[in-house]
């Protein structure tokens, strides 16, 4: 199956503005960029996305997948982005069947920077099968959170953005495959979905329930497996492994785990999701339905496991309750 041709349009992630602080002092500060990208599919206007503009082709590709408009990456011939006109032109190989019907119904969501999805939100939930043996240890969870904490990010320099990351669990420390920031968490997860389609085989259109847990995904040669650290405006790649198991993937987000975020993670075949924020009621229900392990409020050594706690292997020696520490100090 041929992969689509993608342009490499890039735009500055931040801009400098003049501002005044609480003391009345003038200062120059960085703020995140936000620009409109109108997506055209076979010359038909589909949607306008508000984005940071770092990797728009992957964003559009993942958006089409996560909106359930395209089933296979090979169905797309090319994605061409032109920032001068703020447009992304998608050319498919055979068109999108019933595109008018598929895009007629919109569901308003809680997504920042996106706001709605096409079709029924729960349409694919019953068909999703996640790896049965996927798990994460408490030590791996702490390692993942620490990797995010140490990451140099647009958020640290300019604030006002969300971040998502894809990790593979190794025997020691979790290894970051991809780190993406955007003005909305849905843009960031869609970009990761697009990257997975372009860089992993088989494509995400494959029924994951039919794949063996070991070696189910392979990083394509010359892509993520050999990528150097990315420059500004490029996805940050980290892993050097060539074979990955679906049960070894973990998704991280700074945003809350809504139903749409959980569904998108599950559609990507990722069985464990970690968030710096919390979870909504429907997000919790969907995670339970598909067997996804949802971990929230993950900062430093703290976290809450909302669903599928059997996928989290606790290591009690890694953390001590404050009252236990106080009693130990008093008896010393």
* Domain ranges within the chain, ordered by starting residue: 5-120, 136-318
**Where is average pLDDT lowest: 52-66, 97-111, 295-309?**
97-111
The percent of residues in the chain predicted with pLDDT above 70, rounded, is 75
At residue 188, does pLDDT exceed 90?
A: yes
Backbone angles phi, psi at 304, to 5 degrees: -130, 125
Predicted confidence at residue 237, as pLDDT, reads: 47
3-class SS string, 53-105: CCCHHHHHHHHHHHCCCCCCHHHEEEEEEECCCCEEEEEECCCCCCHHHHHHC
Mean pLDDT confidence for 172-192: 90
Please tell me the distance from the alpha carbon of residue 67 to that of residue 75, in angstroms, as a whole number. Answer: 15
Q: Write the class of the CATH domain 136-318.
A: alpha beta
Please, are residues 276 and 298 in contact by the beta-carbon 8 Å criterion? yes
Predicted confidence at residue 332, as pLDDT, reads: 54
Q: For 151-271, where are the alpha helices, taking DSSP H only?
A: 154-158, 185-199, 259-267
What residues have CB less than 8 Å from 197, skipping those under 6 apart? Answer: 61, 62, 65, 73, 203, 204
Q: Pick the more confident residue, 152 or 308.
A: 308
At residue 316, does pLDDT exceed 80?
A: yes
200-222 pLDDT per residue, tens: 854 343 444 344 433 344 454 43
At residue 313, does pLDDT exceed 90?
A: yes
Mean pLDDT confidence for 147-152: 89
The percent of residues in the chain predicted with pLDDT above 90, rounded, is 53
Predicted confidence at residue 81, as pLDDT, reads: 98
107-119 in b/e burial notation, b at 16+ Cβ within 10 A? Answer: eebbbbbbeebbb
At residue 241, does pLDDT exceed 60?
A: no
Mean pLDDT confidence for 36-61: 94
pLDDT band of 144, cuts 50, 70, 90: very high
At residue 108, does pLDDT exceed 50?
A: no
Mean pLDDT confidence for 103-121: 52
What residues have CB less than 8 Å from 240, skipping those under 6 apart? Answer: 225, 226
Mean pLDDT confidence for 290-312: 95
Can you state the angle between helices 185-199 and 56-66, rounded to 10 degrees? 90
Please tell me the distance from the alpha carbon of residue 144 to that of residue 163, in angstroms, as a whole number. Answer: 14
Please, are residues 298 and 147 in contact by the beta-carbon 8 Å criterion? no
At residue 277, does pLDDT exceed 80?
A: yes
Mean pLDDT confidence for 113-135: 71
């Amino acid at each position: 199956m041929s992969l689509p041709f993608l342009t490499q349009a890039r735009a500055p992630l931040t801009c400098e503005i003049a501002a005044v602080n609480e003391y009345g002092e003038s200062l120059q500060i960085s703020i995140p960029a936000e620009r409109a990208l109108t997506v055209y599919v076979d010359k038909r206007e589909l949607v306008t996305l508000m984005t940071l503009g770092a990797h728009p082709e992957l964003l559009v590709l993942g958006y089409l997948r996560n909106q359930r408009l395209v089933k296979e990456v090979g169905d797309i011939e090319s994605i061409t982005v032109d920032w001068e006109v703020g447009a992304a032109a998608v050319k498919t190989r055979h068109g999108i069947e019933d595109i008018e019907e598929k895009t007629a119904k919109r569901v308003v969501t809680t997504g920042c920077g996106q706001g709605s999805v096409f079709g029924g939100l729960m349409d694919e939930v019953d068909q999703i099968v996640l790896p049965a043996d996927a798990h994460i240890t408490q030590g791996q969870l702490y390692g993942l959170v620490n990797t995010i904490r140490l990451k140099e990010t647009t958020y640290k320099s300019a604030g006002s953005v969300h971040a998502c990351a894809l990790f593979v669990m190794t025997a020691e420390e979790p290894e970051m495959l991809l780190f993406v920031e955007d003005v909305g968490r849905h843009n960031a997860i869609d970009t990761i979905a697009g990257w997975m389609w372009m860089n992993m085989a088989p494509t995400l259109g494959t029924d994951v329930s039919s794949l063996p847990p070991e070696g189910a995904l392979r990083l394509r040669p010359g892509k993520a497996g050999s990528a150097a650290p990315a420059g500004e405006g490029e996805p940050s790649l980290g892993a050097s492994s060539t074979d990955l198991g679906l049960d070894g993937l973990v998704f991280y987000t700074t945003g809350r785990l809504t139903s749409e975020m959980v569904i998108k993670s599950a559609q990507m075949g990722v069985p464990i999701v970690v968030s710096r924020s919390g979870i909504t009621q429907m997000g919790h229900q969907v995670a339970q339905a598909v067997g996804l392990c949802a971990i929230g409020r993950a900062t430093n050594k703290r976290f809450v496991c909302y669903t599928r706690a059997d996928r989290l292997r606790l290591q009690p020696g890694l953390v001590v309750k404050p009252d236990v520490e106080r009693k130990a100090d008093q008896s010393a």
